[in-house]
């Protein structure tokens, strides 16, 4: 048990913080600790979690990207316009187009970083502004409300009416999010490429000397984030039933903060899908609880910032310091008996 906790310190700390937070919020409002509200939080968090697992791969490889949310906005527009040209299309065509455009935008970032030797944060700040500028220039900020029927129709895999009249729903974005999480987990945890990503992020020079293709690591990580951004953009259009050019603008910092909160190291070489998901959910739970309590939205950032600070402090220190002490006390007690 001790080894399990020490090997997953961040995840255990986040679970602890989340439990304490939920207990506190349930005292503040009786609507928070309900099954229907839990499903609402999951549905609302789906797009950000898809973003986060893509960003996780980039962070593991030692890079950073803040252009993915804007890239998803570009994907939304391009996909809807392309589907219109195809006569409406279907889900299969939608995922193919969105994924391809997203990968293409991600590979642009990889090209700038690998071929031109530009620092990743500088490169993605540039593409952030280029992508958003081009999007606003060509669209003139006009939203698209006339979506294909299959895209604007809610897809619900499971629904159930609770005794209080509320409904719980398992929607398409949540199912897609689960699949994206599983695919990312499999890639980074069960494949040679995943081990190479960790090695490259932890020690780039050592990875190069070991024979790992450094260029491939860049293209793979940023291409994967581009794929996730494309899928997230399509899911956002489906969830909102409209395409708004600046709807996802600003999410990049929230997702980055939540992913780092989940244990991903900015220096590379560390991070897990579980921690990433817990980080996003912790932020979403906080926002949801404050909203139900009637707290002003302007206070969200302040409170969420404090939660992130506390959680990171716990994840980096609490279990590492307190667990050995507890184990020593337990050992002494056993010796006395």
Taking the C-alpha atoms of residue 215 and residue 218, their distance in angstroms, rounded to an integer, is 5
In the structure, what pLDDT confidence band is assigned to residue 29 with cuts at 50, 70 and 90? confident
Q: Where are the alpha helices (DSSP H) in the chain?
A: 2-7, 9-28, 35-60, 68-85, 91-115, 120-139, 149-152, 172-190, 192-202, 204-210, 214-240, 251-261, 273-292, 300-313, 319-336
Percent of the chain with pLDDT over 70: 88
Taking the C-alpha atoms of residue 313 and residue 149, their distance in angstroms, rounded to an integer, is 47
* Interval 114-170: pLDDT, tens: 999 999 999 999 999 999 999 999 999 999 999 999 999 999 999 988 887 788 999
In the structure, what pLDDT confidence band is assigned to residue 8 with cuts at 50, 70 and 90? low
Two tokens at 41?
A: 């939080």
Average pLDDT, the chain: 87
In the structure, what pLDDT confidence band is assigned to residue 86 with cuts at 50, 70 and 90? confident
* Interval 51-80: pLDDT, tens: 999 999 999 999 999 999 999 999 999 999
- Can you give the pLDDT at residue 322? 42
* Interval 286-329: pLDDT, tens: 889 988 888 877 777 787 677 667 656 654 544 444 444 334 43
Taking the C-alpha atoms of residue 86 and residue 150, their distance in angstroms, rounded to an integer, is 14
- Can you give the pLDDT at residue 193? 95
- Can you give the pLDDT at residue 145? 93
């Amino acid at each position: 048990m001790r080894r399990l906790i020490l090997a997953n310190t961040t995840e255990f700390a986040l679970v602890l913080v989340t439990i304490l937070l939920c207990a506190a919020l349930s005292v503040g409002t009786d609507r928070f600790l309900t099954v229907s509200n839990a499903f609402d939080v999951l549905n609302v968090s789906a797009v950000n979690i898809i973003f986060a697992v893509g960003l996780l791969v980039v962070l593991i490889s030692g890079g950073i990207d803040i252009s993915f949310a804007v890239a998803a906005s570009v994907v939304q527009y391009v996909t809807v316009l392309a589907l219109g040209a195809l006569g409406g299309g279907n889900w299969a065509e939608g995922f193919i187009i969105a994924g391809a455009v997203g990968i293409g935008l991600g590979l642009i970032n990889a090209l700038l970083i690998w071929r031109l030797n530009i620092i990743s944060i500088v490169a993605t700040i540039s593409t952030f502004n280029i992508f958003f500028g081009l999007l606003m220039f060509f669209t003139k900020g006009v939203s698209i409300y006339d979506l294909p029927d299959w895209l604007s129709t809610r897809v619900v895999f499971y629904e159930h009416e609770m005794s209080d009249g509320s409904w719980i729903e398992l929607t398409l974005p949540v199912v897609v999010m689960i699949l994206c999480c599983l695919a990312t987990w499999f890639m980074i945890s069960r494949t040679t490429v995943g081990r190479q990503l960790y090695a490259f992020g932890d020690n780039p020079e050592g990875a190069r000397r070991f024979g790992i293709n450094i260029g491939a690591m860049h293209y793979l990580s940023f291409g994967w984030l581009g794929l996730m951004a494309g899928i997230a953009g399509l899911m956002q259009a489906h969830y909102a039933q409209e395409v708004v050019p600046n709807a996802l603008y600003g999410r990049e910092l929230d997702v980055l903060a939540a992913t780092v909160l989940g244990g991903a190291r900015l220096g590379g070489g560390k991070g897990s899908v579980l921690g990433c998901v817990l980080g996003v959910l912790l932020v979403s739970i906080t926002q949801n609880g404050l909203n139900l309590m009637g707290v002003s939205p302007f206070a969200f950032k302040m409170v969420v910032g404090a939660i992130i600070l506390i959680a990171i402090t716990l994840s980096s220190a609490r279990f590492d310091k307190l667990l050995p002490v507890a184990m020593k006390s337990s050992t002494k007690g056993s010796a006395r008996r």
